[in-house]
Structure 1
Amino acid sequence: MATILILPFLSISTGHHHVADSLQTELIQQSHHCEKIDIFSHYYQRLEKISSAAYLKWIQYLPKAYSSLYSFLACGHHQTKKRHFMYELMFINGMKQILKEKKPDVVFCTHALPSYLLNQLKTQFPKLKVVNVYTDFFVNRIWGREHIDYHFAPSLEIKEQLISEGVADRNIFLTGIPVHRSYKMDVRTGGNSEKFYNILITGGSMGVGGIFQLIQELAPKGQIQYQILCGKNEKLYNYINRLNHPLINAVPYIENKSDMNRLYGTASGIITKPGGVTISEAIEKKLPAFIYHALPGQEEMNLRLLKKKNLIIELKNRMEQPIEEQLLHFIQSEDACNDYHMHLEQYVEEKSEADIAKVLANIIHNDGKCGETH
């Protein structure tokens, strides 16, 4: 039995944590001791809470400023010798302490910052295996490269990018963004009844991202039933319930992944933001993903790349065409659906070369001889 750490960053329930949870489920299934640690909360709990709250306010009220700063700090070509001394000053001693205390055999990073720190420390822990598990459809330049053992790539383009930056082909696994094993079970009950198509809406659990405006613009005409996933956002949940609309339903936080999988099985599509995990879940369930808004930073980058691969449908402004009319035009168009599913299948086939469970087992048990899974 291996000792394994999974390192997301910040306590906000973002894709970094969802992917970490998915990996943890797989690893526990394989009987490994597995622990998830956020180094920020671990050492600076009060500061982390302040930082998380500030981040949410920043992307909500000053999105252009955040987008510009993110592009400046994280986007662009990876620089081998680039150092981020502030991150090192705050976290590198803490990371050393965690490694010495926990003595992990393998560490999985689902966020760029832990990856950067471990890339700096790897020579001091030569027996440690470090794996980057990317949670978006692009890779920012903060992620470690040179001393990282393995990479779970979300797309062929990212695999090619990593190779161009000096990562060996044999150390990259084209897995896509890992989703929870529950979503791999087919429980589809059909996306519509005699009366309604069923559309899921997500992306409002953190209270940012324009979901209230979206709900105001739905204007249901009777052909679509909207299920809005509120997460732990009580303000959103109460707002929808006060609407008392027979075709707009608030769905509270769903903890059980099997329950969420059954909800996916009733849907004809999902309206969402271009978060890496949500889009990957939609792809797994073969649901068209309609994009209504992108948060600054990572989601803006995802949106560009997903549009290029034709894996999402970007909703137009309702002044150009009402939202429900756009949804029905797509859902009821055989040509549009066939074209979308053709691109979706191309992507699924592209990433099918590496099964997550097999790759994890090989990394842990076969002393890193993982090329057999390609």
Structure 2
Amino acid sequence: MELNILITTAPFGNGHKMVATALKNAFTNKGYYNVSVVDVFTEAHPRITETIKKAYIKSYEFGDAYSLLYYGTEKLVDKKVMDVYRNFGFRKLNQIALEFKPDIIINTFPILASLKIKNSSGENIPVFNIVTDFYVHKLWLSEEIDKFYIATNELQEELRKMNIPIEKTVVTGIPVRDAFEEMENLNNIFKKYRFIKSKKIVLINAGAFGVLKDIKKVCVDLCSHNNIQVAVVCGNNKELKAQLDSLDYRNLKVFGFTEDIHELYKISTCMITKSGGITLSEALAVQLPLIIFKPVPGQEKENALYFEKKGAAFIANNSNEIVNRTLDLICNHTILNAMRKNMKKIYNKSSSEIIVDDVVKNIESL
């Protein structure tokens, strides 16, 4: 059966696009080649979206502001004031749908305009949502959504309490790139990056925009320990990379944006990171213990609290806590092993494949 599959995404962080790409690859691997990934926000209103994107990144520096935005929109989700958001990108999405003729729309970001898109017979096109965090913001929810793919059993119970029928929810985990689940020769990775296998590696993931603060101080403190090697991924933050390169420590390696970040995950002892849903899912895939730095109130905080509750991460609120938590963790094999076991318990393997199989099954039954 041939299917036209439209996957929508957004430019607010790299996570949504990574999920969309992982899903497209999974469809292709199953023989479904008519898959289109569309950044609806950028396609519809590029200038406005760029402004929103900058404000979104900036708001992370002011936790209270982002908290108001995040939880405030939850309170307004049923109000008329949200009609602007519900209609955002509708014209462009409808135009794309008229040309592409999708049999299904899959959202990796809560794009409510997708619910209004109709096929040539005037019927609503089925809409499935892939929730990309370990918490469900109410913008993801609507009785009109045909299916929700979610990260945990706890979320399934939360959605049930919010009157989403259990048959509309599937616990699949959050899709990650296949590379995180593939077996690799770790000796070759150690050689590639010139890391000493007998020493611990602390990975610092600054995120796609390099928003992790106090990295320089953390690097200086950790690099003072000869038994520790530090790898920092700066993402697109060239200024941060230059700043850390200037430290010139022998046991510090600094990277910009890297496609092969999965290799660093696989050889690291633990990772210091922000708590985006995709990053956490990638860590789960390789059972990489986490120190989560000062999560911003909103989805980051909700994600971090879930991981802490499950014994898969520690939360640190300043640079001293980061260093102390990291040193305590890498020196305690019992805690490290316990965290790895806890991560294995909550990880759902082959999420993309499970979602693709379920999507196809649902479309065949419609």
TM-score class, shorter-chain normalisation, is 0.7 to 0.9
Residue 290 (structure 1) aligns with: 291
Runs of 4+ aligned structure 1 residues displaced above 6 Å come to none
Residue 210 (structure 2) aligns with: 207
Task: Please list the CA deviations of residues 291-348 of structure 1 after superposition, one character each: whole Å capped at 9, or x if unmatched.
Answer: 12323432122122222222212236455x671x532322332331233233223213
Task: Please list the CA deviations of residues 4-58 of structure 1 after superposition, one character each: whole Å capped at 9, or x if unmatched.
Answer: 111112x344211111111111112223211111112112112211221222223
CA distance 1:88–1:298, change in 2 (3 Å): same
| Alpha-carbon distance in structure 2 between the residues aligned to 1:13 and 1:99 | 25
1:180 to 177, 181, 187: 177
Residue 239 (structure 2) aligns with: 235
Task: State which drifts further: 334-343 or 282-291.
Answer: 334-343
TM-score normalized by structure 2?
0.87
* Cα drift, residue 281 of structure 1: 0.5
RMSD: 2.8
User: 2:355 corresponds to which letter in structure 1?
Assistant: V
| Alpha-carbon distance in structure 2 between the residues aligned to 1:213 and 1:49 | 32
* Cα drift, residue 287 of structure 1: 0.8
| Alpha-carbon distance in structure 2 between the residues aligned to 1:238 and 1:27 | 39
1:197 to 197, 200, 223: 200
CA distance 1:328–1:205, change in 2 (3 Å): same
Gaps of 5+ in 1: none
Residue 314 (structure 2) aligns with: 313
CA distance 1:333–1:108, change in 2 (3 Å): same
The 5 Å alignment of 1:111-122 reads: 111-112=109-110, 114=111, 116-121=112-117
CA distance 1:125–1:216, change in 2 (3 Å): farther
Residue 49 (structure 1) aligns with: 50
Residue 261 (structure 1) aligns with: 262
* Cα drift, residue 130 of structure 1: 1.4
Aligned length: 356
Gaps of 5+ in 2: none
Indicate the percent of aligned positions where both proteins have the same amino acid: 25
Residue 73 (structure 2) aligns with: 73
CA distance 1:356–1:88, change in 2 (3 Å): closer
Q: Does 2:338 match 1:336?
A: no
Residue 141 (structure 1) aligns with: 138
TM-score normalized by structure 1?
0.85
* Cα drift, residue 221 of structure 1: 1.2
Residue 252 (structure 2) aligns with: 248
Residue 123 of structure 2 aligns to a residue whose secondary structure is coil
| Alpha-carbon distance in structure 1 between the residues aligned to 2:56 and 2:351 | 35
Q: Does 2:85 match 1:87?
A: yes
* Cα drift, residue 122 of structure 1: 6.7
